[in-house]
Amino acid sequence: MRAGEKTWELLQGKSLRAAVLILLGTGLSLVIASGNISNTAAALFGLVFVWVAFTRLKTGIFLAIVFANFQPFFERLLLLASGGTFGGGAIWGNMFRTSVSLAILLLAAFAFGRKVVEKTRIFKFPLDKYIAVYLAWCLLQVFNPNQSTLIGIYGFKQELVPLLMYFLARDFFRTEEDLKFFFNYMIVYGTVSCGYALYQHFFLTSFDQLWVTSVRGVFHADIATGTGIRAFAFATGDMPFLFPLVAILIVVVALGRRFFNPWMRRTILLLYLCFALMTAFQLPRTPVLMLGLGLLVTSLLTGYIRGSLLKRLIFLGLAAIILVEAFVYFSPYLRDSKDPRFVRFAELANPMEADTVKFRRERPWKESLAVISRHPLGIGVGSGKRTRPGVVAGTYYLPHNEFLMKWLELGLPGLIFFILLLLKTATVAATVVWKGTQAWHRRYAAGILGVLAAYVACSMVNIPFLDESGIFFWFMAGVLPLIKGYEIAETG
């Protein structure tokens, strides 16, 4: 054992005891002083999390992933248990909500701290440096004079946390079995979550109903369904639930049946069925479009891997033309049905003329471009997500365009850094598809390229690289340099 590793083990033991004592004292103080159930739950989770993370970093990363999936559900249970408030009357901004971000930040501090003590490189791959440059510019934008530093810190956290998962991937994925374990978990989670979303569609539970009622001003309920909501399952809304699910589905399809054991193959079929049923009832147009585009790109790439690109290109081209023409033909009937679900879905026949897109083009996109013209170097990270000083409250809306958001907040340099980061990610994936020596390496990279294409397309009308969907995207993207550098051990 190297001297650095011995030093880290000593620090780990001392730090564990100190962290447990600090968190225990903090938790007891919160219980006694505030009586806030959300803060108390956050302190208890922190106590358990620090113990697990310091005992084994890999297990701590998995616990953070599980908590990212289920934290909103636990929050609704707390909301019900507390009678509709968290002790102070404010639902948003509670400590429990920030627990996922704090957990990931703490994990990254452990991982980077260990590398410093052991004197190993933090930025090991070329893609690491692109992420570092982008985050450095985001950090500078925290102190942009056009916003408050507090808003900047909040915005930087939203940019930082998902990208930290890229670095944590190398502490989690050491063997092929680790990747299988992660996808097995996400397949089971996705299946259960889709089933729960179907249940929500027909029978909204009491704590779900309380949550929807409490946050109606923030979560825009959709009267398209009998319950008056769009499916969100365990998440905070339909998009944080569906975007990561679409990403998982695309990569699972790319990996193929042979990557999974017989039991998981049956579970994957159940996931397909649950997703199809939920989609049939809810008709979430953006995720459906993302899934279609992602699977199209992935299918062409796997066709290239198998040496049947031309045949697949002809088949998929004809199938796409038939499907598009059929949808365009039937879309007027969907609009005439007066059912909001069908009307919204029919707008996919001409997405740029959809009501939501027209509103964004006429209001938030136009307003954002006007601000950009006055502030070419950006207005500060985080400030595009809320009303800013100098703008009358209620007149500014979230741009709902990831690239426009980066341009607005980070200026032209930030937008360029972000685009270069995505291009470099695509380049690494394409290199694995082209030169990979293992079949599953190439198929996995093809899946990531499919997800990237879906997310970039979605970025025209939403912000999929942030928050929950960003966490899972960058975690999966973090595998790319590992398989490119042959750092994941083969098993089986």
Q: Exposed e or buried b for every residue in 57-75, given b needs 16+ CB within 10 A? A: beebbbbbbebbbbbbbeb
Instruction: For residues 216 and 320, state if they share a domain.
Output: yes
**If we measure between CA atoms, which residue out of 186, 161, 163 comes closest to residue 241?**
186
Half-sphere exposure of 24 (CA within 13 A, CB side): 7
Instruction: For residues 305 and 196, state if they share a domain.
Output: yes
Position 92 pLDDT exceeds 80 = no
Q: Is residue 489 part of a domain?
A: no
d(CA 410, CA 143): 11
Q: Is residue 229 part of a domain?
A: yes
The radius of gyration of the chain's CA atoms, rounded to the nearest angstrom, is: 23
Q: Would you state the pLDDT for residue 34?
A: 54
Instruction: For residues 69 and 90, state if they share a domain.
Output: yes
With bands split at pLDDT 50, 70 and 90, how would you rate the model's confidence at 89?
very low
- φ, ψ (nearest 5 deg) of residue 315: -65, -50
Instruction: For residues 354 and 460, state if they share a domain.
Output: yes
Instruction: For residues 97 and 137, state if they share a domain.
Output: no
- φ, ψ (nearest 5 deg) of residue 485: -95, 10
> What is the arithmetic mean of pLDDT over 181-197?
96
Q: Would you state the pLDDT for residue 81?
A: 77
Q: Is residue 490 part of a domain?
A: no
Q: Which of 60, 90, 122 is the last residue of a domain?
A: 122
Number of domains in the chain: 2
d(CA 292, CA 297): 9
> What is the arithmetic mean of pLDDT over 286-306?
94
Mean residue pLDDT across the chain: 84
With bands split at pLDDT 50, 70 and 90, how would you rate the model's confidence at 95?
confident
Helix (H, G, I), strand (E, B) or coil at 489: strand
Compute CA distances 172 → 61, 64, 111, 482, whole Å: 7, 12, 11, 11
Position 202 pLDDT exceeds 70 = yes
d(CA 98, CA 55): 22
- For residue 378, which amino acid is it? G
Q: Which of 88, 105, 122 is the last residue of a domain?
A: 122
0.95 cut: is pTM over it?
A: no
Instruction: For residues 327 and 196, state if they share a domain.
Output: yes
Angle between helices 126-141 and 149-172 (to 10 degrees): 160
- Report the share of the chain in percent with pLDDT over 90: 44
- For residue 150, which amino acid is it? L
d(CA 314, CA 318): 6
Position 357 pLDDT exceeds 60 = yes
Q: Is residue 103 part of a domain?
A: yes
Q: Which of 99, 122, 145 is the last residue of a domain?
A: 122
> What is the arithmetic mean of pLDDT over 426-437?
93
d(CA 354, CA 346): 9
Instruction: For residues 195 and 98, state if they share a domain.
Output: no
d(CA 363, CA 406): 18
Residues 6+ apart with CB under 8 A from 455: 243, 247, 290, 464, 465, 469, 473
pLDDT in tens, 152-164: 888 899 899 999 9
Instruction: For residues 165 and 291, state if they share a domain.
Output: yes
Position 9 pLDDT exceeds 60 = no
Higher pLDDT, 230 or 471: 471
Instruction: For residues 344 and 359, state if they share a domain.
Output: yes
- Specify the range with the lowest mean pLDDT, choosing from 77-81, 137-141, 255-259: 77-81
pLDDT in tens, 210-252: 777 766 544 445 544 455 567 889 998 888 899 999 999 999 9
With bands split at pLDDT 50, 70 and 90, how would you rate the model's confidence at 201?
confident
Instruction: For residues 92 and 145, state if they share a domain.
Output: no
Position 94 pLDDT exceeds 70 = no
- Say if residues 320 and 471 touch (Cβ distance below 8 Å): no
> What is the arithmetic mean of pLDDT over 452-469?
92
Helix (H, G, I), strand (E, B) or coil at 85: coil
Domain that holds residue 159: 129-484
Q: Is residue 48 part of a domain?
A: yes
Q: Which two tokens stand for residue 60?
A: 């701590």
Sign of torsion over alpha carbons 404, 405, 410, 415: negative
d(CA 113, CA 5): 11
Query: What percent of the residues of the chain are helix, what percent strand, and what percent coil, each to the nearest 5?
Result: 75, 0, 25
Compute how many other C-beta atoms are within 10 angstroms of the C-beta atom of residue 191: 19
Helix (H, G, I), strand (E, B) or coil at 175: strand
Q: Is residue 15 part of a domain?
A: yes
Instruction: For residues 329 and 412, state if they share a domain.
Output: yes
Position 492 pLDDT exceeds 70 = no
Q: Which two tokens stand for residue 443?
A: 């198929």
Q: Would you state the pLDDT for residue 206?
A: 78
Q: Is residue 492 part of a domain?
A: no
N residues, the chain = 492
Instruction: For residues 34 and 66, state if they share a domain.
Output: yes
